[in-house]
């Protein structure tokens, strides 16, 4: 896998600053009479504002996961990840407010239409994944892995409703699928699992 890293070089450091920049011995270069490195012309990262490098898939170029916090605002059965983070395909998450005002003003309809229109363009990187979530006073998740939904079925099934909103847990980890009519049963079970 080839990754591209874009290095944005800062402003030209003054010679006084250079005294404090430690570089490896291979990178060392004497300064010319104008105060610039002798190999300045051969160093694109010093010559240009942005430079694209082809890098290996070595871990040193990976972004690192943040240090773990004392508490997290959500419940998860997985330990927080440590160390370098493997580059993965981009995930899109579309979050829609479906409270009365959003529905009545037609904003949800327009948002959905725009998203539908955007699906037919090539705006998404190949292999990107996407999910939909809606919320009013509860959170609703949609399982998209099941058989293709027909409009009629989708009206009544394949969504998971989430009433325990103080510490939402991720439903890929603890998955239960509820159909819409079981709203009450769902919220009580969910609560017991989240506690």
For CA atoms 64, 67, 68, 72, give the dihedral sign: negative
- Which of 10, 17, 127, 195 binds another protein (CB under 8 A)? It is 127
Identify the DSSP state of 119: H
Q: 26 vs 79, which CB is nearer to another protein?
A: 79
Minimum CB–partner distance for residue 188 and another protein (Å): 18
Task: Return the residue of 58, 73, 192, 195 that touches another protein, per CB under 8 A.
Answer: 73
Q: Could you give the CA distance from residue 88 to residue 118 in angstroms, rounded to a whole number?
A: 22
Among 101, 182, 184, 193, binds another protein (CB under 8 A): 101
Report DSSP state, residue 110. Answer: H
Burial of 47-62, coded b for 16+ CB within 10 Å and e otherwise, reads eeeeeeeeeeeeeeee
CB of 96 to another protein, least distance (A): 5
157 interacts with another protein by CB under 8 A: no
Of the pair 81, 193, the CB lying nearest another protein is at 81
């Amino acid at each position: 896998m080839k990754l591209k890293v874009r290095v944005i070089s800062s402003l030209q450091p003054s010679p006084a600053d250079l005294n404090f920049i430690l570089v490896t011995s291979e990178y060392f270069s004497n300064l010319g009479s104008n105060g610039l490195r002798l190999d300045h012309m051969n160093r694109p990262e010093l010559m240009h504002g942005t430079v694209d490098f082809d890098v290996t898939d070595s871990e040193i170029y990976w972004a690192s996961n943040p240090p773990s916090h004392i508490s997290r605002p959500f419940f998860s059965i997985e330990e927080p990840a440590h160390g370098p983070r493997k580059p993965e395909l981009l995930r899109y998450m579309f979050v829609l407010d479906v409270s009365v005002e959003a529905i009545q003003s037609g904003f949800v309809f327009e948002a959905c239409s725009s998203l539908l229109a955007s699906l037919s363009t090539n705006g998404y990187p190949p292999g990107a994944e996407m999910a939909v979530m809606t919320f009013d006073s509860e959170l609703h998740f949609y399982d998209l892995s099941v058989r293709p939904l027909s409009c009629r079925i989708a009206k009544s099934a394949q969504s998971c409703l989430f009433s325990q909103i103080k510490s939402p847990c991720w439903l890929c980890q603890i998955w239960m699928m509820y159909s819409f009519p079981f709203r009450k049963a769902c919220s009580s079970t969910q609560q017991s699992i989240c506690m």
